Amino acid sequence: MRLLHFKTVLLFAACIALHTILPAQNSDEAAVKKTISDFYTWYTKNSGKLDAFRIMKGRGANDGPPFRIDWQAANKYFAFIRTSVPWLGEQFIRNETTYFKVAEKAFKANPDDEIATGFDFDRFTGAQESPEYVVPYLLDEKGTWKYNIKGNTCTLTILPEGSTEPGEASRAQLVKESGKWKIAVPFGYPEGWDKKL
């Protein structure tokens, strides 16, 4: 009888714990989805505001190679993000700084390259097309949205409707900063971006 009572108490405690965890997970998922959706809705209409900061510049004729990172422009870009783009946080700014440093190394290693490594596509969408064409595909509402939340980090994977190929999935990483989910790695960053572009 005591064993039965112990098992009942244990089952009851497990149900309470599960009931406590699941709503928190679902509220985090809803907050992550809202952050991603709100940012990309804004970005579709305002990508030019971020593009206006000419972070990569050419030293050659007609802004051609060799290329360099204009760190003064990068700092103005970061200041704009801090004041005007609430969906991107400090981890994103640290990641962009790393991205620019990796690109700068590639520029120095290949000074004659005609195309600026890491700047030949949109870092937020991973495409060369305009965001209004790409974002509906990235945020496919009928697709499969998977949230891998561990503590204050979430890896969001979106597989478009009808797709079974993992290579067609969009991935972004978000972190919780001061209680709010912020984009740390947007969909457009290439795999291994922090080591080589």
pLDDT score recorded for residue 2: 52
Q: What is the pLDDT of residues 81-140, one digit of tens each?
A: 999 999 999 999 999 999 999 999 999 999 999 989 999 999 999 999 999 999 998 999
Instruction: Give the pLDDT band of residue 17 (cuts 50, 70, 90).
Output: very low
Q: Specify the pLDDT at position 11.
A: 36
Residue 157 has pLDDT above 60, yes or no: yes
> Tell me, what's the pLDDT at 56?
95
Q: Which of 24, 21, 20, 43 lies closest to 32 in space, CA to CA? A: 24
Query: Tens digit of pLDDT for each residue in 179-191?
Result: 999 999 999 998 8
| pLDDT value of residue 22 | 39
pTM: 0.84
pLDDT of residue 29: 96
Specify whether the CB–CB gap between 32 and 154 falls below 8 A.
Answer: yes
The angle, 0 to 180 degrees and rounded to 10, between the axes of the packed helices 71-84 and 2-51 is 130
pLDDT at 25 over 80: no
